[in-house]
Structure 1
Amino acid sequence: MPFVLLEVRKKYSPEQEIALMNAVHSAIQDAFKKPDDINIRLLAHEPHRFPAPSTKTHPELYMNISIDCIAGRSIAAKRNLYRLIIENLGQFGIPKDHVKILLRETSSENWGIRGGQAACDVELGYTIEV
């Protein structure tokens, strides 16, 4: 049940936004062996409110991706996730050095799910340790 936020500097059409979100969603599913329970959002900033590093060749394509999830994935799964996100976004012409990914892990007792239960008290239906 990762929570994902894509922050972009460019206006995309609704179809393009959905495609970008699906690209990241698919990478998470593949890397984390995760069912479809992913909360993903896209926030388009005005470029002056989200400056890109001056070294970027296409600053309009610069983006940050923040992923909050329950702790426990292996470093191999995380490396796979980062690679898949970059590959999937590359299909949209986004240079690989224009994407920053922040993965934040918190313990399962810090997630309130399924009607206010701590995730540590619930059978999630999937494995975290991948």
Structure 2
Amino acid sequence: MPTVLIHGALVTAFRIPAEDKHVRLVVHEPHRFACSPKRTQPEDWGIRGGQAASDVDLGFDVRV
């Protein structure tokens, strides 16, 4: 699938800024997601050095 179509879908669905071209999509096989129950707890996940995603200013709204 051409990159322009993927980017357009992200702009439409997630309302990322149209000029935000720094998006990396990686597809993983389902078996790659297998992990211990301990690792699936919400407090075990973070971004940018372990920060809660809700505490990081991404520069645009994320509504889930």
Shorter-chain TM-score range: 0.3 to 0.5
Length-normalised TM-score, structure 2: 0.44
TM-score (norm 1): 0.27
Q: Relative contact order (alpha carbons < 8 A, sep ≥ 6): 1 or 2 greater?
A: 1
Counting strand residues as a fraction of each chain, which structure ranks higher? 1
